[in-house]
Amino acid sequence: MNIQHCKYIAVAAGSMSCAMPALAQSSVTLFGMMDSGITYVSNQGGHSTLKMDDGVNGPNLWGMSGTEDLGGGTHAFFRLVSQFELDNGGFMPNKSLFSRTSVLGLSNPVAGKLTLGNQYDFMTDALFAGGEDPAELSGHFYDFRAGPFQKLGLPANPTGAFDWDRMAGETASNALKYETPVVGGFSAGAMYGFGNVAGSIGTGNGTSFALNYAGHAFGFNAAYTNLKYPLAGGPDVSVRNWGVGAHYGLENWIANALFTTVHNSLNGGTVYEGSVGAHYNFTPALSAGASYMYMKGNDVVDNNHAHQLAVSVDYALSKRTSVYVLGLYQRASAGGLAQLNGMNTPDGASSGATQAVARIGLHTHF
């Protein structure tokens, strides 16, 4: 399936290749994508703000990938990707060179694909990359899951509930992943993340699984991920996600639906969401998308719930560069503090039950 606004995978601009002995072929490709713009936020900590923000309509990435033909249909390949903050030129907080993705692997059309390194689990690889996320059709990064669930308290999380279903491109370190070949449109995958903790094989480990179907116009994906976080003086904290999604699209439009969940074993916090979206190409240059999401938590997060709406309009200046406008609105239940994804400052949440953003931006890839 080809989704015009699925900018998660960068488009290669150029490559260099050289002949290898015994007719082996190898290539290396450099690629990247950048996004920046101006965002108005209606309420952050009780005040409105106008700010420059980047990485909204796709993350700011620079990377390289390469492949070598080993013969018999087997290829060795690598992929190294850095994510950076365009507006100041620095790495993302607590990240470093190639911390977005760094994988080495082997692929064969009959045997499947095996990868090792720092890589996405199947919440991202199956559900998002499979085209099932309405956020990518409308509000992009701001439209990923967050909400009035600050008490969810996920470990190693900037707000405790940022991107709680891991579909904005979270990675698992020290991971070994296998993906089957596609047979009759169906494929599956499994991942194991090594904890690398001396004296305990199971400490800090993780697992992820996927089942996928891709047809001409219809696709379906299901994913499960369970990651453990070591806790000093206590057992590991297990964070469990699972989700299912589907899409249907023809030449000028696509519609999709998604259901995802999270459970934090440390405090018992649980949240789920259901969302639907659609995107339509009016002309080869002009397109628009919209989505709706409902989120609900259990008593650990005060039984808060929220409704979220998003809409965006894109205009392509060329095959590589586009300008866009988007708007989002979230309304939380009484007593909840609305918080859109990406509002990660200490006072990022609204002081009340509503939060809205409006943005104009510029996006390019190479």
Domain ranges of the chain: 14-365
88 φ/ψ angles, rounded to the nearest 5 degrees: -130, -5
Higher pLDDT, 87 or 358: 358
Q: What angle do CA 259, 264, 268 make, to 5 degrees?
A: 105
Instruction: Tell me the pLDDT tens digit for each residue of 261-302.
Output: 999 999 999 999 999 999 999 999 999 999 999 999 999 999
- Residue 24 — very low, low, confident or very high, per pLDDT cuts 50/70/90? low
Predicted pLDDT of residue 7: 42
Contact (Cβ atoms closer than 8 angstroms) between residue 209 and residue 189:
yes
d(CA 350, CA 125): 31
Quote the CATH superfamily of domain 14-365.
Answer: Porin (2.40.160.10)
Which pTM was predicted?
Answer: 0.90
The pair of three-digit structure tokens given for residue 182, joined into one six-digit string? 């596609």
- Residue 234 — very low, low, confident or very high, per pLDDT cuts 50/70/90? confident
d(CA 259, CA 297): 14
Instruction: Tell me the pLDDT tens digit for each residue of 39-79.
Output: 999 999 999 999 999 999 999 999 999 999 999 999 999 99
Predicted pLDDT of residue 197: 81
Pairing of strands 61-71, 47-54: unpaired
Instruction: Tell me the pLDDT tens digit for each residue of 295-352.
Output: 999 999 999 999 999 999 999 999 999 999 999 999 999 999 999 999 988 789 999 9
- Residue 240 — very low, low, confident or very high, per pLDDT cuts 50/70/90? very high
CA dihedral sign, ordered 34, 37, 43, 46: positive
Predicted pLDDT of residue 346: 76
Predicted pLDDT of residue 25: 75
Contact (Cβ atoms closer than 8 angstroms) between residue 133 and residue 266:
no
Predicted pLDDT of residue 254: 97
Higher pLDDT, 93 or 14: 93
Predicted pLDDT of residue 26: 87
119's CB contacts (< 8 A; 6+ apart) are 101, 102, 103, 171, 172, 175, 177, 191
Nearest to 183 by CA among 158, 213, 207: 213
Instruction: Tell me the pLDDT tens digit for each residue of 112-169.
Output: 999 999 999 999 999 999 999 999 999 999 999 999 999 999 998 999 999 999 999 8
42's CB contacts (< 8 A; 6+ apart) are 48, 350, 354, 355, 356, 357
Q: Locate tokens 């690598």: which residue?
A: 78
Amino acid residing at 185: G
Q: Which residues of 163-174 are buried (b: 16+ CB within 10 A; e: fewer)?
A: bbbbbbbbbbeb
